[in-house]
Amino acid sequence: MSNTVCVLPCNGLDKCAGDISRRVALKLTESEGVELICPVLLNQNKTRYDKVLEDGSLSVIDGCNTRCASKLAGSLEIAIKEKVNVSEVAKAQNIKLGVDIRDDEETDALVQVLLEKMSISEEKQADSQFIETETVEYESFSHGKFIFKVPKNNYFFNENDCWVSISGDIARVGVTDYVQQNLSDILYVDPPEIGQEIEQFDELGSIESSKTVFEIISPVSGTVVAVNDKLQDAPELVNESPYEKGWLVELRLSNFEEDKELLLDFEAYFEFLKRKVAETNV
Amino acid sequence: MSESTFMGVERDRIDWSPRIDFSKCNDCMDCVEFCPHQVFEVNENEKPKLKVKNPNNCVVFCRACGKTCGLDAITFPDKPETTKMIKAIRKAEKEAASDE
Ligand code: SF4
Ligand code: SF4
């Protein structure tokens, strides 16, 4: 049998979203190889779960955007393999949850959607179509004890510190060394959905460390064709290799010539970053 | 950061910052805690306590604090419109420069 899946729901039991998180978690534990993690006990006594967490992977169900469950996992430095957010899924489904606990058709349907969301993410991975260039050359500068690297060719950047690299009509997107160092240990990568159409500067998922969440702002417009699924097991690749192994998303470009007008090349980003680092580190 | 620019356009010509719907906001201050750019200000003695003090400190196209608001009290300007406007300003400036 494969590894255990540990399910960590939120603890907002008195509210509708929290109650739904509980229902989804209980439903999941009906399957074999799924272990329920009680947030209160985890917080009190993490060792109680050390063993299952070591052999298994963690799935988190946040009730609302306070993201208590994710934050708890983050503060205990447990990597999250998969997660859903009840309120966001409800919003996407056009369901208004409100505060009071409800047990009706609408909430049943929502539980169902959430359950589906949690099991499909395994399957539909399209293969990467990007042809990597042999070696990437970098230039770096230092500020205090930090060293920032920027790749020299075939990469473009936006001022939101995301990069894009092009191969034919396929683009790879990721975050720059600056973001990676700012966030420090990245614990979770939340990818966009395959097939999603993206305009330039739209959100392309997010990455999360115990410190904060960073939204990926797409440097280009296009359709999402692949996501880096290695990151689900090894989000630290974004820290170790932000410009190569830690790439996040692949898109089929729709209008790169126009997108390019609002992007920086190596020289411009290098200068931009130097200024930014000098300004922010007081 | 008074003379900052975004994509070569002066920051104060770009209208991008969080808008707070005070009929929804409950002063939880999650957004303030989240944003590292001193966009917000908290005045304990005023009501509302929360104020978008430095809208131009907000990172253009960032919408992250909107996500932290469990009550959905934060909205942002229209992204495609803003992109269009930035492009238009850049184009106008380029033309003005080549006319000289
Ligand atoms: S996070 Fe939302 S509710 Fe809380 S202070 Fe900010 S705007 Fe108000
Ligand atoms: S959108 Fe981003 S930069 Fe702007 S106020 Fe919110 S968190 Fe800060």
Task: Find the CATH number of the domain harbouring B71.
Answer: 3.30.70.20
Q: Where residue A148 sits, what CATH number does that domain have?
A: 2.40.50.100
- On whether any CB of chain B is under 8 Å from the CB of A255, the answer is no
pLDDT at A264: 95
Q: Report yes or no on B5 lying in a domain.
A: no
Over the stretch A219-275, which tens digit does the pLDDT of each residue have? 999 999 999 989 988 999 999 999 999 999 999 999 999 999 999 999 999 999 998
Per-position DSSP letters for B37-93, written without gaps between them: S--EEE-TTSSS-EEE--GGGSPTT--HHHHH-TT--EE---HHHHHHHHHHHHHHH
**Residue contact B90–A200, C-beta within 8 A:** no
Q: How far is CA A211 from CA A218, B4, B35, B54, in A?
A: 22, 26, 12, 23
Residues of chain A with Cβ-Cβ distance to B64 below 8 Å are 213-215
Whether A185 and A213 map to the same domain: the answer is yes
Q: What's the whole-number mean pLDDT along residues A27-35? A: 86
pLDDT at A282: 45
Q: Is the CB of B35 under 6 A from ligand 1?
A: no
Whether A224 and A259 map to the same domain: the answer is yes
Position B50: which residue type? L
The ipTM, to two decimals, is 0.76
Residues of chain B with pLDDT > 90, as a percent, come to: 56
Q: Report yes or no on A92 lying in a domain.
A: yes
Over the stretch A137-159, which tens digit does the pLDDT of each residue have? 899 998 888 899 999 988 999 99
Answer for the pair A217, A162: CB distance below 8 angstroms, yes or no: yes
Cα–Cα distance, A154 to A148 (Å, whole number): 18
pLDDT at B14: 94
pLDDT at A281: 56
- Token pair, residue A241, equals 């290799």
C-alpha of residue B64 to centroid of ligand 2, in Å = 6
Q: What's the whole-number mean pLDDT along residues A26-37? A: 88
Select from A262, A275, A280 the residue whose CB has the most chain B CBs within 10 Å, as the one to mutate to test that interface. Answer: A262
Q: What's the whole-number mean pLDDT along residues A42-60? A: 89
Cα-to-chain-centroid distance, residue B43: 19
Please report the beta strands in chain A, taking only residues with DSSP state E, as ranges in sequence order: 5-9, 34-36, 57-62, 82-85, 138-143, 146-151, 155-157, 162-167, 170-175, 186-190, 197-198, 203-209, 213-217, 222-227, 249-253
pLDDT at B80: 87
Answer for the pair A70, A208: CB distance below 8 angstroms, yes or no: yes
How many CB atoms are located within 10 Å of the residue A34 CB? Answer: 16
pLDDT at B2: 42
Whether A64 and A154 map to the same domain: the answer is no
Whether A163 and A265 map to the same domain: the answer is yes
C-alpha of residue A134 to centroid of ligand 1, in Å = 47
Whether A148 and A14 map to the same domain: the answer is no
What's the gap in Å between the CA of A215 and the closest CA on chain B? Answer: 7
Cα–Cα distance, A91 to A262 (Å, whole number): 31
When mean pLDDT is compared across A52-56, A116-120, A177-181, B4-8, the lowest value belongs to: A116-120
Strand A5-9 with A57-62, pairing: parallel
SS3 assignment, position A56:
coil
Whether A149 and A100 map to the same domain: the answer is no
Whether A261 and A181 map to the same domain: the answer is yes
Residues 6+ apart with CB under 8 A from A230: A237, A245
When mean pLDDT is compared across A100-104, A117-121, A238-242, the lowest value belongs to: A117-121
Give Dmax over CA atoms of chain B in angstroms: 53
Cα–Cα distance, B40 to B20 (Å, whole number): 11
Q: Report yes or no on A55 lying in a domain.
A: yes
Q: Report yes or no on A34 lying in a domain.
A: yes
Ligand 1 atom with minimal separation from the B18 CA = 7
Position B13: which residue type? R
C-alpha of residue A258 to centroid of ligand 2, in Å = 26
Whether A36 and A108 map to the same domain: the answer is yes
| Residue A275, domain extent | 138-280
Q: What is the mean pLDDT of chain A?
A: 89
pLDDT at B22 over 50: yes
Give me the sign of the Cα torsion angle A99, A105, A106, A107: positive
Buried b (16+ CB within 10 A) or exposed e, A72-106: bbbeeebbbbbbbbbbebbeeeebebeeebeeeee
pLDDT at A25: 92
pLDDT at B94 over 90: no
Per-position DSSP letters for A215-250, written without gaps between them: EEE-SS-EEEEEE-THHHH-TTHHHH-TTTTT--EE
Q: Report yes or no on A130 lying in a domain.
A: no
pLDDT at A108 over 80: yes
Q: Report yes or no on A126 lying in a domain.
A: no
Cα–Cα distance, A112 to A106 (Å, whole number): 10
Q: What's the whole-number mean pLDDT along residues A96-103? A: 88
Q: Report yes or no on A173 lying in a domain.
A: yes
Residues of chain A with pLDDT > 90, as a percent, come to: 56
**Domain end call among A88, A119, A150:** A119
Whether A111 and A146 map to the same domain: the answer is no
Answer for the pair A59, A5: CB distance below 8 angstroms, yes or no: yes
Ligand with smallest separation from the Cα of B65: 2
Ligand with smallest separation from the Cα of B30: 1
pLDDT at A120: 45
pLDDT at A268: 94
pLDDT at A121 over 80: no
Answer for the pair A37, A76: CB distance below 8 angstroms, yes or no: no
**B29: closest chain A residue by CA:** A66
Among B63, B65, B68, B74, which residue has the most ligand 2 atoms within 8 Å of its CB, making it the best to mutate?
Answer: B65
Position A256: which residue type? F
* Max avg pLDDT among A114-123, A193-202, B12-21: B12-21
Q: Report yes or no on B11 lying in a domain.
A: no
Q: What's the whole-number mean pLDDT along residues A28-49? A: 90
**Domains of chain A: total:** 2
Q: Where residue A30 sits, what CATH number does that domain have?
A: 3.40.50
Ligand 1 atom with minimal separation from the B65 CA = 1
pLDDT at B1: 43
**Domain end call among A53, A87, A119:** A119
